[in-house]
Structure 1
Amino acid sequence: MKNTVIVIMALVSFIACKKETRDQLKKAKQEVSNATKIISNAKEIQEESAKLKEVTPLTNEELKTWLPEKVADLSRTGFKVGKTGYMNVASIEGTYKAEDGRELRVEIMDGAGEIGSALMVGMGAANKMEVEEEDERKHLQTITKNGVKAKQTYYKKRDDTELQFIYSGRFMVIVRAKDTKPEKTWELVEKLNLESLTK
Protein backbone atom coordinates (compact mmCIF):
# COMPACT_ATOMS: atom_id res chain seq x y z
CA MET A 1 0.00 0.00 0.00
CA LYS A 2 2.81 2.37 0.98
CA ASN A 3 4.62 1.62 -2.29
CA THR A 4 1.43 2.28 -4.26
CA VAL A 5 1.04 5.71 -2.63
CA ILE A 6 4.68 6.56 -3.41
CA VAL A 7 4.25 5.46 -7.04
CA ILE A 8 1.02 7.51 -7.40
CA MET A 9 2.69 10.60 -5.87
CA ALA A 10 5.71 10.20 -8.14
CA LEU A 11 3.42 9.81 -11.16
CA VAL A 12 1.39 12.94 -10.24
CA SER A 13 4.62 14.89 -9.70
CA PHE A 14 5.99 13.69 -13.07
CA ILE A 15 2.77 14.66 -14.92
CA ALA A 16 2.73 18.10 -13.25
CA CYS A 17 6.38 18.68 -14.19
CA LYS A 18 5.75 17.46 -17.72
CA LYS A 19 2.79 19.86 -18.14
CA GLU A 20 4.85 22.73 -16.71
CA THR A 21 7.72 21.93 -19.09
CA ARG A 22 5.27 21.73 -22.01
CA ASP A 23 3.83 25.14 -21.06
CA GLN A 24 7.33 26.63 -20.77
CA LEU A 25 8.29 25.24 -24.18
CA LYS A 26 5.10 26.63 -25.72
CA LYS A 27 5.81 30.06 -24.20
CA ALA A 28 9.44 29.98 -25.40
CA LYS A 29 8.32 29.07 -28.95
CA GLN A 30 5.86 31.98 -28.92
CA GLU A 31 8.57 34.40 -27.76
CA VAL A 32 10.96 33.21 -30.50
CA SER A 33 8.16 33.59 -33.05
CA ASN A 34 7.44 37.14 -31.82
CA ALA A 35 11.15 38.05 -31.95
CA THR A 36 11.39 36.74 -35.53
CA LYS A 37 8.35 38.83 -36.51
CA ILE A 38 9.85 41.93 -34.88
CA ILE A 39 13.11 41.54 -36.85
CA SER A 40 11.20 40.99 -40.09
CA ASN A 41 8.91 43.95 -39.39
CA ALA A 42 11.86 46.19 -38.45
CA LYS A 43 13.40 45.76 -41.91
CA GLU A 44 10.08 46.53 -43.60
CA ILE A 45 9.55 49.60 -41.38
CA GLN A 46 13.07 50.91 -42.14
CA GLU A 47 12.32 50.69 -45.88
CA GLU A 48 8.97 52.48 -45.47
CA SER A 49 10.64 55.16 -43.33
CA ALA A 50 13.33 55.78 -45.97
CA LYS A 51 10.61 56.42 -48.60
CA LEU A 52 8.66 58.76 -46.29
CA LYS A 53 11.81 60.76 -45.55
CA GLU A 54 11.77 61.97 -49.17
CA VAL A 55 8.08 63.05 -49.07
CA THR A 56 7.13 66.64 -48.19
CA PRO A 57 4.85 66.79 -45.12
CA LEU A 58 1.47 68.50 -45.31
CA THR A 59 1.40 72.17 -44.31
CA ASN A 60 -0.65 73.54 -41.40
CA GLU A 61 -3.06 75.05 -43.93
CA GLU A 62 -3.55 71.72 -45.70
CA LEU A 63 -4.23 70.00 -42.37
CA LYS A 64 -6.72 72.71 -41.33
CA THR A 65 -8.50 72.40 -44.68
CA TRP A 66 -8.85 68.67 -44.12
CA LEU A 67 -10.18 68.82 -40.53
CA PRO A 68 -13.98 68.44 -40.69
CA GLU A 69 -16.37 70.90 -39.00
CA LYS A 70 -18.67 68.01 -38.05
CA VAL A 71 -18.24 64.27 -37.56
CA ALA A 72 -21.70 62.68 -37.65
CA ASP A 73 -23.67 64.53 -34.93
CA LEU A 74 -20.57 65.90 -33.18
CA SER A 75 -19.61 69.52 -33.83
CA ARG A 76 -16.04 70.76 -33.71
CA THR A 77 -15.27 72.68 -30.52
CA GLY A 78 -11.61 73.46 -31.20
CA PHE A 79 -8.39 72.51 -32.93
CA LYS A 80 -4.61 72.79 -32.56
CA VAL A 81 -2.34 72.64 -35.56
CA GLY A 82 1.41 72.01 -35.40
CA LYS A 83 1.27 71.70 -31.61
CA THR A 84 2.10 68.06 -31.20
CA GLY A 85 4.51 66.91 -28.50
CA TYR A 86 6.92 65.95 -31.29
CA MET A 87 8.91 68.94 -32.54
CA ASN A 88 8.52 69.93 -36.16
CA VAL A 89 6.13 67.13 -37.06
CA ALA A 90 3.17 68.26 -39.15
CA SER A 91 0.14 67.53 -36.99
CA ILE A 92 -3.40 68.53 -36.13
CA GLU A 93 -5.77 67.80 -33.28
CA GLY A 94 -9.51 68.38 -33.40
CA THR A 95 -12.04 68.16 -30.57
CA TYR A 96 -15.75 67.49 -31.06
CA LYS A 97 -18.83 67.33 -28.86
CA ALA A 98 -22.42 66.12 -29.29
CA GLU A 99 -25.47 67.58 -27.54
CA ASP A 100 -25.79 64.44 -25.40
CA GLY A 101 -22.28 64.98 -23.97
CA ARG A 102 -20.33 62.47 -26.09
CA GLU A 103 -16.89 63.76 -27.04
CA LEU A 104 -14.37 62.94 -29.74
CA ARG A 105 -10.69 63.86 -30.02
CA VAL A 106 -8.82 63.20 -33.27
CA GLU A 107 -5.03 63.55 -33.59
CA ILE A 108 -3.20 63.19 -36.91
CA MET A 109 0.59 63.27 -37.30
CA ASP A 110 2.17 63.23 -40.74
CA GLY A 111 4.96 60.64 -40.95
CA ALA A 112 6.52 62.36 -43.98
CA GLY A 113 9.81 64.27 -43.89
CA GLU A 114 12.95 63.69 -41.85
CA ILE A 115 11.48 63.89 -38.33
CA GLY A 116 8.08 62.39 -39.14
CA SER A 117 9.65 59.37 -40.83
CA ALA A 118 11.90 58.76 -37.79
CA LEU A 119 8.82 58.85 -35.57
CA MET A 120 7.14 56.31 -37.83
CA VAL A 121 9.83 53.71 -37.07
CA GLY A 122 8.73 53.42 -33.43
CA MET A 123 5.02 53.71 -34.07
CA GLY A 124 5.21 51.35 -37.04
CA ALA A 125 6.91 48.64 -34.98
CA ALA A 126 4.34 48.95 -32.19
CA ASN A 127 1.49 48.91 -34.69
CA LYS A 128 2.60 45.64 -36.28
CA MET A 129 2.66 43.70 -33.00
CA GLU A 130 -0.36 41.54 -32.17
CA VAL A 131 -1.56 42.12 -28.61
CA GLU A 132 -4.57 41.39 -26.46
CA GLU A 133 -5.07 41.93 -22.77
CA GLU A 134 -8.18 42.32 -20.67
CA ASP A 135 -9.01 43.03 -17.06
CA GLU A 136 -11.98 44.50 -15.18
CA ARG A 137 -10.99 48.01 -16.29
CA LYS A 138 -10.17 47.73 -19.99
CA HIS A 139 -9.84 45.52 -23.06
CA LEU A 140 -6.87 46.19 -25.37
CA GLN A 141 -6.55 44.28 -28.63
CA THR A 142 -5.05 44.48 -32.09
CA ILE A 143 -7.78 44.39 -34.70
CA THR A 144 -8.12 44.96 -38.44
CA LYS A 145 -11.12 47.02 -39.49
CA ASN A 146 -11.81 48.04 -43.09
CA GLY A 147 -8.23 47.09 -44.00
CA VAL A 148 -6.74 49.19 -41.18
CA LYS A 149 -4.73 47.44 -38.45
CA ALA A 150 -5.23 49.20 -35.12
CA LYS A 151 -4.71 49.02 -31.39
CA GLN A 152 -8.19 49.29 -29.90
CA THR A 153 -8.65 49.97 -26.18
CA TYR A 154 -12.09 49.94 -24.63
CA TYR A 155 -12.37 51.37 -21.11
CA LYS A 156 -15.32 49.45 -19.69
CA LYS A 157 -16.42 51.53 -16.71
CA ARG A 158 -16.05 54.87 -18.51
CA ASP A 159 -17.48 53.51 -21.79
CA ASP A 160 -14.61 55.22 -23.68
CA THR A 161 -12.74 53.92 -26.73
CA GLU A 162 -9.25 54.74 -27.99
CA LEU A 163 -7.94 53.73 -31.41
CA GLN A 164 -4.34 54.04 -32.64
CA PHE A 165 -3.36 53.19 -36.19
CA ILE A 166 -1.30 54.18 -39.20
CA TYR A 167 -3.34 55.28 -42.18
CA SER A 168 -2.05 54.77 -45.71
CA GLY A 169 1.42 53.89 -44.39
CA ARG A 170 2.00 57.55 -43.52
CA PHE A 171 -0.41 59.17 -41.07
CA MET A 172 -0.37 58.29 -37.38
CA VAL A 173 -3.94 58.53 -36.13
CA ILE A 174 -5.20 58.55 -32.55
CA VAL A 175 -8.95 58.70 -31.94
CA ARG A 176 -10.41 59.02 -28.45
CA ALA A 177 -14.18 58.76 -28.07
CA LYS A 178 -15.90 59.46 -24.74
CA ASP A 179 -19.10 57.55 -23.89
CA THR A 180 -18.74 55.60 -27.14
CA LYS A 181 -18.34 51.88 -27.73
CA PRO A 182 -15.72 50.56 -30.23
CA GLU A 183 -18.18 49.87 -33.08
CA LYS A 184 -19.60 53.40 -32.90
CA THR A 185 -16.07 54.84 -32.72
CA TRP A 186 -15.17 53.05 -35.96
CA GLU A 187 -18.31 54.51 -37.56
CA LEU A 188 -17.01 57.97 -36.63
CA VAL A 189 -13.58 57.14 -38.11
CA GLU A 190 -15.28 56.31 -41.42
CA LYS A 191 -16.83 59.79 -41.43
CA LEU A 192 -13.44 61.51 -40.98
CA ASN A 193 -12.68 61.22 -44.70
CA LEU A 194 -9.05 60.23 -44.04
CA GLU A 195 -8.53 59.31 -47.70
CA SER A 196 -8.56 63.01 -48.61
CA LEU A 197 -5.30 63.42 -46.63
CA THR A 198 -3.49 61.42 -49.31
CA LYS A 199 -4.73 63.46 -52.30
Structure 2
Amino acid sequence: MKRIFLRALLIFSAISLVSACQRTEHFMDRIEPPVKVINESQNRRDSGGNQTVAEGIPLGEKIPISKEVLKTWVPETVGDFRRIQLLSGHREESGIVSVLADYQHRDLKAVGIKVEILDGAGGNGSILIQAAQERLKLDIEENKEDMLTKIHLRNGQRVRESENKKQQFAEIEFVDQNRYLFQIKGFGLSLSQLWEFSSAASFQQP
Protein backbone atom coordinates (compact mmCIF):
# COMPACT_ATOMS: atom_id res chain seq x y z
CA MET A 1 0.00 0.00 0.00
CA LYS A 2 2.84 2.29 0.90
CA ARG A 3 4.53 1.57 -2.44
CA ILE A 4 1.34 2.40 -4.33
CA PHE A 5 1.05 5.68 -2.44
CA LEU A 6 4.68 6.62 -3.19
CA ARG A 7 4.29 5.70 -6.85
CA ALA A 8 1.13 7.84 -7.13
CA LEU A 9 2.91 10.73 -5.43
CA LEU A 10 5.82 10.52 -7.88
CA ILE A 11 3.45 10.47 -10.88
CA PHE A 12 1.53 13.48 -9.54
CA SER A 13 4.78 15.38 -8.95
CA ALA A 14 5.98 14.66 -12.49
CA ILE A 15 2.70 15.84 -14.00
CA SER A 16 2.80 19.03 -11.90
CA LEU A 17 6.39 19.72 -13.00
CA VAL A 18 5.54 19.30 -16.70
CA SER A 19 2.52 21.58 -16.33
CA ALA A 20 4.58 24.25 -14.57
CA CYS A 21 7.25 24.12 -17.28
CA GLN A 22 4.62 24.56 -19.98
CA ARG A 23 3.16 27.60 -18.20
CA THR A 24 6.65 29.07 -17.80
CA GLU A 25 7.44 28.52 -21.48
CA HIS A 26 4.16 30.18 -22.48
CA PHE A 27 4.94 33.20 -20.31
CA MET A 28 8.54 33.43 -21.54
CA ASP A 29 7.28 33.45 -25.14
CA ARG A 30 5.65 36.80 -24.38
CA ILE A 31 8.84 38.36 -23.04
CA GLU A 32 11.33 39.75 -25.51
CA PRO A 33 14.92 38.74 -24.65
CA PRO A 34 17.10 41.69 -23.54
CA VAL A 35 19.46 41.22 -26.48
CA LYS A 36 16.54 41.36 -28.93
CA VAL A 37 15.13 44.47 -27.25
CA ILE A 38 18.47 46.28 -27.28
CA ASN A 39 19.05 45.34 -30.91
CA GLU A 40 15.53 46.52 -31.73
CA SER A 41 16.31 49.96 -30.35
CA GLN A 42 19.18 50.21 -32.80
CA ASN A 43 17.66 48.34 -35.76
CA ARG A 44 14.47 50.40 -35.59
CA ARG A 45 16.41 53.41 -36.80
CA ASP A 46 17.88 51.46 -39.70
CA SER A 47 14.60 49.92 -40.79
CA GLY A 48 12.96 53.02 -42.17
CA GLY A 49 10.12 52.49 -39.70
CA ASN A 50 8.50 49.77 -41.79
CA GLN A 51 9.06 46.73 -39.59
CA THR A 52 6.00 45.05 -38.13
CA VAL A 53 5.41 43.52 -34.72
CA ALA A 54 6.47 39.86 -34.43
CA GLU A 55 3.86 37.58 -35.91
CA GLY A 56 1.85 35.22 -33.72
CA ILE A 57 1.56 37.31 -30.54
CA PRO A 58 -1.13 40.02 -30.34
CA LEU A 59 0.22 43.41 -29.30
CA GLY A 60 -2.03 43.45 -26.25
CA GLU A 61 -0.35 40.27 -24.96
CA LYS A 62 3.23 41.40 -25.50
CA ILE A 63 5.35 42.62 -22.60
CA PRO A 64 6.41 46.29 -23.00
CA ILE A 65 10.11 46.96 -23.32
CA SER A 66 11.82 48.53 -20.32
CA LYS A 67 11.85 52.28 -19.90
CA GLU A 68 15.66 52.07 -19.66
CA VAL A 69 15.79 50.81 -23.25
CA LEU A 70 13.21 53.34 -24.40
CA LYS A 71 15.36 56.12 -22.94
CA THR A 72 18.13 55.20 -25.36
CA TRP A 73 15.86 56.21 -28.24
CA VAL A 74 16.05 59.91 -27.29
CA PRO A 75 19.66 61.08 -27.84
CA GLU A 76 21.20 63.75 -25.62
CA THR A 77 21.91 66.03 -28.57
CA VAL A 78 20.29 66.36 -31.99
CA GLY A 79 22.00 68.92 -34.20
CA ASP A 80 21.71 72.29 -32.44
CA PHE A 81 19.31 70.90 -29.86
CA ARG A 82 20.27 69.63 -26.43
CA ARG A 83 18.09 67.46 -24.24
CA ILE A 84 17.34 69.34 -21.01
CA GLN A 85 14.84 66.95 -19.41
CA LEU A 86 13.99 63.27 -19.64
CA LEU A 87 10.95 61.85 -17.88
CA SER A 88 9.82 58.24 -17.71
CA GLY A 89 7.27 56.39 -15.65
CA HIS A 90 4.60 59.07 -16.01
CA ARG A 91 2.19 56.53 -17.50
CA GLU A 92 3.11 53.57 -15.29
CA GLU A 93 -0.22 53.62 -13.45
CA SER A 94 -1.86 52.79 -16.78
CA GLY A 95 0.61 49.98 -17.47
CA ILE A 96 2.14 51.91 -20.36
CA VAL A 97 5.88 52.41 -20.87
CA SER A 98 6.77 55.80 -22.34
CA VAL A 99 9.41 58.51 -22.22
CA LEU A 100 9.01 62.27 -22.46
CA ALA A 101 11.99 64.40 -23.50
CA ASP A 102 12.40 68.18 -23.73
CA TYR A 103 14.97 69.71 -26.10
CA GLN A 104 16.19 73.30 -26.27
CA HIS A 105 18.06 75.05 -29.06
CA ARG A 106 21.69 75.70 -28.21
CA ASP A 107 21.52 79.45 -28.96
CA LEU A 108 17.80 80.29 -29.22
CA LYS A 109 16.30 79.72 -25.78
CA ALA A 110 12.73 80.27 -27.01
CA VAL A 111 13.04 77.44 -29.53
CA GLY A 112 12.28 74.00 -28.12
CA ILE A 113 10.96 70.55 -28.91
CA LYS A 114 8.98 68.07 -26.83
CA VAL A 115 9.09 64.37 -27.74
CA GLU A 116 6.99 61.54 -26.33
CA ILE A 117 7.54 57.91 -27.34
CA LEU A 118 5.06 55.32 -26.16
CA ASP A 119 5.25 51.52 -26.36
CA GLY A 120 1.88 50.12 -27.35
CA ALA A 121 2.52 46.64 -25.95
CA GLY A 122 0.16 45.47 -23.24
CA GLY A 123 -3.58 45.88 -22.74
CA ASN A 124 -3.91 49.64 -22.34
CA GLY A 125 -1.01 50.44 -24.65
CA SER A 126 -2.49 48.43 -27.51
CA ILE A 127 -5.82 50.24 -27.12
CA LEU A 128 -4.03 53.58 -27.37
CA ILE A 129 -2.10 52.49 -30.46
CA GLN A 130 -5.27 51.23 -32.10
CA ALA A 131 -6.94 54.59 -31.45
CA ALA A 132 -3.94 56.42 -32.94
CA GLN A 133 -3.99 54.24 -36.03
CA GLU A 134 -7.71 54.94 -36.46
CA ARG A 135 -6.97 58.69 -36.31
CA LEU A 136 -4.32 58.32 -38.98
CA LYS A 137 -6.33 56.07 -41.30
CA LEU A 138 -8.10 58.66 -43.48
CA ASP A 139 -6.59 61.46 -45.55
CA ILE A 140 -7.66 64.75 -43.98
CA GLU A 141 -6.73 68.38 -44.56
CA GLU A 142 -8.30 71.18 -42.53
CA ASN A 143 -7.51 74.74 -41.48
CA LYS A 144 -9.02 75.72 -38.14
CA GLU A 145 -8.09 78.89 -36.24
CA ASP A 146 -4.83 79.27 -38.17
CA MET A 147 -3.89 75.65 -37.42
CA LEU A 148 -3.39 73.68 -40.62
CA THR A 149 -3.69 69.93 -40.00
CA LYS A 150 -3.00 67.25 -42.57
CA ILE A 151 -3.19 63.46 -42.27
CA HIS A 152 -1.63 61.60 -45.16
CA LEU A 153 0.86 59.00 -46.32
CA ARG A 154 4.44 60.25 -46.05
CA ASN A 155 7.31 58.06 -47.21
CA GLY A 156 5.12 54.98 -46.86
CA GLN A 157 3.93 55.86 -43.34
CA ARG A 158 0.69 57.40 -42.07
CA VAL A 159 1.38 60.71 -40.32
CA ARG A 160 -0.46 63.66 -38.85
CA GLU A 161 1.08 67.09 -39.37
CA SER A 162 -0.15 70.29 -37.70
CA GLU A 163 1.28 73.78 -38.06
CA ASN A 164 0.37 77.27 -36.87
CA LYS A 165 2.67 79.64 -38.71
CA LYS A 166 1.53 82.71 -36.75
CA GLN A 167 2.43 81.14 -33.42
CA GLN A 168 5.39 79.23 -34.87
CA PHE A 169 4.10 75.93 -33.55
CA ALA A 170 4.27 72.55 -35.27
CA GLU A 171 3.39 68.99 -34.33
CA ILE A 172 3.81 65.57 -35.94
CA GLU A 173 2.46 62.18 -34.95
CA PHE A 174 3.02 58.69 -36.34
CA VAL A 175 3.08 55.03 -35.30
CA ASP A 176 6.30 53.10 -35.93
CA GLN A 177 6.28 49.31 -36.49
CA ASN A 178 2.56 49.23 -35.66
CA ARG A 179 3.63 49.53 -32.03
CA TYR A 180 5.45 52.72 -31.02
CA LEU A 181 3.60 56.04 -30.95
CA PHE A 182 5.68 59.16 -31.61
CA GLN A 183 4.34 62.63 -30.79
CA ILE A 184 6.74 65.50 -31.49
CA LYS A 185 5.93 69.17 -30.83
CA GLY A 186 8.04 72.12 -31.92
CA PHE A 187 7.94 75.62 -30.46
CA GLY A 188 9.40 78.43 -32.56
CA LEU A 189 9.85 76.03 -35.45
CA SER A 190 8.27 75.35 -38.82
CA LEU A 191 6.88 71.95 -39.78
CA SER A 192 9.80 71.30 -42.15
CA GLN A 193 12.29 72.10 -39.38
CA LEU A 194 10.50 69.67 -37.06
CA TRP A 195 10.77 66.91 -39.67
CA GLU A 196 14.48 67.70 -40.01
CA PHE A 197 14.85 67.21 -36.26
CA SER A 198 12.91 63.92 -36.41
CA SER A 199 15.15 62.65 -39.20
CA ALA A 200 18.36 63.75 -37.43
CA ALA A 201 17.20 61.98 -34.26
CA SER A 202 16.45 58.82 -36.31
CA PHE A 203 12.80 58.83 -35.23
CA GLN A 204 11.83 58.46 -38.89
CA GLN A 205 13.82 58.16 -42.07
CA PRO A 206 13.74 61.23 -44.38
TM-score calculated relative to the size of structure 2: 0.66
Letter of the structure 2 residue corresponding to residue 100 of structure 1: L
Please point out which of 55, 64, 73 is paired with 1:66.
73
Please point out which of 108, 127, 134 is paired with 1:118.
127
1:19-49: CA deviation from partner (whole Å, max 9, x where unpaired): xxxxxxxxxxxxxxxxxxxxxxxxxxxxx9x
Contact 1:136 1:156 in 2 (8 A): no
Where does the alignment leave 5 or more consecutive residues of structure 1 unmatched?
Answer: 1-47
Deviation of 1:93 after TM superposition, in Å, equals 0.5
Q: Which residue of 1 aligns with 2:108?
A: 100
1:97-155: CA deviation from partner (whole Å, max 9, x where unpaired): 01213101000110112221122221111111221111451101113333221111101
Distance 2:95 2:85 in 1: 21
The worse-fitting range, judged by mean Cα deviation, of 63-72 and 84-93 is 84-93
Distance 1:134 1:83 in 2: 32
* 1:36-115 equivalence runs, <5 A: 51-84=58-91, 87-98=94-105, 99-101=107-109, 102-115=111-124
Deviation of 1:64 after TM superposition, in Å, equals 1.6
- Work out the percentage of aligned pairs sharing the same amino acid: 27
Q: Which residue of 2 aligns with 1:45?
A: none
**Structure 1 runs, 4 residues or longer, greater than 6 Å off:** none
Please point out which of 158, 171, 178 is paired with 2:180.
171
Higher helix proportion (structure 1 or 2): 1
- SS in structure 2 at match of 1:158: coil
- SS in structure 1 at match of 2:158: strand
Deviation of 1:85 after TM superposition, in Å, equals 8.5
Distance 2:150 2:139 in 1: 8
Q: Which residue of 1 aligns with 2:8?
A: none
Deviation of 1:79 after TM superposition, in Å, equals 1.1
- SS in structure 1 at match of 2:139: coil
TM-score calculated relative to the size of structure 1: 0.68
Compute the RMSD of aligned alpha carbons.
2.0
Contact 2:138 2:152 in 1 (8 A): no
